[in-house]
């Protein structure tokens, strides 16, 4: 089936986060779009079909009740980007169906089950797992509400996003046995040994088996999922071809690595806004031209390995005193999920480690590590990427990690295609030697970016420190070669390729009925 087949059908996307957050600032209604490529990419798909997007309304609960009496807001089409001028934008808008979840439910479903049970388990972190019976009940209740809202939209196809919604597919299946249900799981799927610590392991798997297809970033995660089904759902059968027979149906599993819009990131990196932001950072923190910049960009989440990175930097300076004053580490941090104690502790720990590093090694004219917390937009972020000599992504575990891919894209194409101006080719106009990437082997992006990116085990402090040193000392030719290889891989698995694969799965034709 083609995309056209999808366009004729009623598509409902269901995600925890909403694509537009409405709020009041100084009494004025505002709309904020989460940055990043995923939301705008999904936005395009829903707009193409004029469908419905169901999400938790996390903005101001009192937002304009006259416009949205039942949580529904008609979304206009995406504005046409300046660089697409000339194209007619005749895409229909879509309905954003916001769920106004009670505070207590959010507490237990989002901060509780989703982020203190499922998130750590999927990232193979046992310590932060907190099992409170109220969490699982709230997860069921919230999933029911998402499912009911999806069913109300009378869908032909429902596309669930991520780990907040493992039970909703089963609930929708019960009400709409004829609908096509598809889910993409944006975080890793753990091994069966690890998943077994989840008290609701079987229930969650049965919920997900309400889908016709479940997608993951890597084949490894899909294989772990099938393994869990084989072990914990006795009535399901996993075939040699990797399909799952369950409840008289066949559930397909597939791997599609998500990507970024590389040209857009490269254009952002070449923009004046990127340059101006970088100039402000240089002036504010007195960054000297002769010093290298090592960059980290993270949500402040314990899975991101920021503490391990700061330990490695400290070890590097301890064992290589001649590197003192040679680089500045710039940490762009985004606070996250702070109602959860483990996240508050992590924030404090990161700040304390940065202060320790500065106290232990700083001098009158050199601050080894700086921390930037202000909100910045995509162009400003691309300015940081473009000016970094080394970026470090050191997650202890990460489904994909788009920072790594965006950093690679922001270095531009070192060798522009003949006949095209560098800007037209998506490459930054300003000719800089590209930055090097040090990348944890435990993130999904390592499968495509390494060995062009320098692979590290973030738990191995000595090896990690040596790799940062190698990146700092890498010569210009090697940087160009590696950047070129990384950019090629970012292009081969970009957001359009991911979307095309998802559309094929969504359109997927009739449901396959198992002949058992
Ligand atoms: C990860 C998850 C997303 C989530 C994002 C931000 O990337 O896979 O589903 O939206 O983190 O976390 P938050 O809890 O703020 O939505």
Expressed in angstroms and rounded, the spacing between residue 119 Cα and the centre of ligand 1 is 10
Cα–Cα distance for residue pair 312/148, rounded to 1 Å: 49
39 lines ligand 1 (CB under 6 A): no
pLDDT bucket at 477, cuts 50 / 70 / 90: very high
In the prediction, which pLDDT does 423 show?
A: 47
Is 17 touching ligand 1 by the criterion CB < 6 Å? yes
Mean pLDDT of 192-199: 98
> What is the distance between the alpha carbons of residues 44 and 131, in angstroms, rounded to a whole number?
38
Ligand 1: distance of its center to the CA of 1 in Å? Answer: 31
- Nearest Cα to 341, choosing from 119, 187, 130? 130
Query: What's the whole-model pTM score?
Result: 0.90
Beta-carbon contacts of 371 under 8 Å, excluding residues fewer than 6 positions away, are 331, 333, 350, 351, 354
Which two structure tokens, joined as six digits, stand for 245? 């027979």
Atom of ligand 1 nearest to the CA of 186: 8
Around 443, how many Cα atoms within 13 Å sit in the side-chain half-sphere? 29
* Helix runs in 179-338, H state only: 192-195, 201-208, 219-232, 262-269, 272-285, 306-319
For residue 200, the CA-to-ligand 1 centroid distance in Å is 21
Measure Cα distances from 127 to 117, 190, 202, 373 in Å.
10, 15, 21, 27
- Is the CB–ligand 1 distance for residue 13 below 6 Å? no
* Beta-sheet pairing, 94-99 with 157-161: unpaired
d(CA 481, CA 453): 11
Nearest to 142 by CA among 176, 173, 100, 182: 100
Pocket test for ligand 1, best of 162, 165, 339, 340 (most atoms within 8 A of CB): 162
Ligand 1 atom with the smallest distance to the CA of 15 is: 9
pLDDT tens-digit series, residues 270-291? 999 999 999 999 999 999 999 9
Using CA atoms, how far apart are residues 204 and 135, in angstroms rounded to an integer? 14
For each of the domains in the chain, give its residue range(s) and CATH number, in order of start: 4-99 (no CATH), 103-174+187-258 (3.40.50.2000), 262-493 (3.40.50.2000)
Q: What is the pLDDT of residue 42?
A: 86
Two structure tokens written together for 56: 């938790």
Give the residue-averaged pLDDT of 11-33.
Answer: 80
- Cα(399) to centroid of ligand 1, in Å? 11
| Ligand 1 nearest-atom number relative to CA 163 | 9
Supply φ then ψ for residue 391, to 5 degrees: -110, 145
162 CA to centre of ligand 1 in angstroms: 9
Contact 503, 347 (CB under 8 A): no
Residue 9: closest CA among 181, 215, 250: 181
* Residue-level pLDDT at 413: 67
CB atoms within 10 A of CB 475: 8
Pocket of ligand 1 contains residue 186 by CB under 6 Å: yes
Instruction: Look at 121 and 70; give whichever has higher pLDDT.
Output: 121
> Which residue of 161, 299, 400, 404 sits with most ligand 1 atoms within 8 Å of its CB, as the best mutation to test the pocket?
299
CA atoms within 13 A on the CB side of 71: 17
State pLDDT tens for residues 213-269. Answer: 999 999 999 999 999 999 999 999 999 998 999 999 999 999 999 999 999 999 999
> Could you tell me the distance, in angstroms and rounded to a whole number, from the CA of residue 55 to the centre of ligand 1?
13
> 162 CB under 6 A from ligand 1?
yes
Rg (CA), the chain: 23
6: phi then psi, degrees, rounded to nearest 5: -70, -40
The predicted structure's pLDDT at residue 88: 43
Q: Is the CB of 336 under 6 A from ligand 1?
A: yes
Q: Is the pLDDT of residue 64 over 90?
A: no
Q: What is the pLDDT of residues 78-127, one digit of tens each?
A: 443 433 333 444 545 789 999 999 999 999 999 999 999 999 999 999 99
The C-alpha atoms of residue 386 and residue 380 are separated, in whole angstroms, by: 10
Closest ligand 1 atom, CA of 399? 8
Q: How buried is 87 (Cβ within 10 angstroms: 0-12 exposed, 13-18 middle, 19+ buried)?
A: exposed
Annotate 240-271 with b (16+ C-beta within 10 A) or e (fewer): eeebbbbeebbbbbbbbbbbbbbbbbbbbbbb
Complex-level ipTM: 0.99
Q: Name the 3-class secondary structure at 409.
A: helix
Are 165 and 14 spatial neighbours (Cβ–Cβ below 8 Å)?
yes
Tens of pLDDT along 478-494? 999 999 999 999 999 99
CA atoms of 88 and 102, how far apart (whole Å): 41
């Amino acid at each position: 089936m083609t995309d056209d087949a999808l366009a004729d059908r009623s598509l409902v996307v269901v995600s925890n986060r909403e694509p537009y957050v409405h709020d009041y600032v100084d009494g004025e209604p505002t709309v904020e779009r989460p940055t990043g490529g995923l939301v705008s990419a999904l936005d395009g798909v829903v707009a193409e079909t004029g469908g419905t997007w169901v999400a938790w309304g996390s903005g101001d609960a009192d937002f304009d009740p006259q416009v949205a009496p039942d949580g529904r807001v008609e979304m206009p089409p995406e504005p046409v980007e300046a660089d697409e001028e000339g194209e007619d934008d005749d895409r229909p808008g879509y309905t954003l169906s916001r769920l106004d979840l009670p505070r207590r439910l959010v507490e237990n479903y989002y901060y509780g089950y989703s982020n203190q049970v499922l998130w750590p388990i999927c990232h193979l972190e046992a310590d932060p797992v907190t099992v409170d019976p109220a969490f699982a009940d709230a997860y069921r209740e919230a999933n029911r509400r998402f499912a009911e809202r999806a069913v109300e939209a009378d869908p032909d196809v429902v596309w669930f996003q991520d780990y907040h919604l493992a039970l909703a597919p089963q609930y929708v299946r019960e009400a709409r046995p004829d609908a096509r249900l598809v889910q993409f799981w944006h975080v890793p799927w753990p091994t069966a040994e690890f998943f077994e610590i989840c008290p609701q392991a079987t229930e969650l798997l049965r919920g997900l088996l309400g889908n016709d297809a479940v997608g993951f970033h890597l084949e490894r995660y899909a294989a772990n999922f099938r393994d869990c089904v084989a072990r914990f759902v006795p009535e399901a059968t996993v075939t040699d071809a990797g399909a799952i027979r369950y409840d008289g149906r066949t559930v397909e599993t597939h791997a599609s690595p998500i990507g970024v819009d590389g040209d857009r990131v490269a254009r952002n990196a070449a923009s004046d806004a990127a340059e101006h932001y970088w100039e402000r950072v240089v002036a504010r923190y007195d960054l000297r031209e002769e010093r290298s910049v090592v960059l980290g960009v993270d949500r402040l989440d314990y899975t991101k390995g920021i503490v391990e990175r700061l330990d490695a930097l400290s070890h590097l300076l301890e064992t290589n005193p001649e590197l003192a004053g040679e680089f500045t580490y710039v940490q762009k941090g985004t606070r996250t999920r702070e109602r959860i104690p483990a996240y508050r502790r992590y924030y404090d720990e990161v700040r304390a480690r940065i202060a320790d590093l500065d106290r232990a090694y700083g001098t009158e004219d050199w601050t080894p590590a700086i921390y930037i917390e202000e909100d910045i937009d995509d162009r400003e972020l691309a300015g940081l990427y473009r000016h970094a000599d080394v970026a470090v992504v050191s997650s202890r575990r990460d489904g994909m990690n788009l920072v790594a891919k965006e950093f690679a894209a922001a270095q531009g194409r070192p060798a522009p295609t003949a006949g095209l101006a560098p800007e037209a080719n998506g490459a930054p106009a300003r000719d800089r030697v590209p930055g090097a990437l040090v990348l944890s082997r435990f993130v999904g992006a390592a499968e495509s970016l390494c060995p062009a990116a320098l692979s590290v085990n973030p738990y191995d402090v000595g090896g990690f420190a040596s790799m940062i040193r190698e990146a700092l000392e890498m010569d210009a030719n090697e940087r160009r070669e590696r950047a070129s290889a990384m950019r090629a891989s970012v292009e081969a698995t970009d957001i359009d390729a991911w979307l095309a694969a998802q559309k094929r799965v969504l359109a997927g034709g009739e449901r396959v009925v198992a002949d058992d």
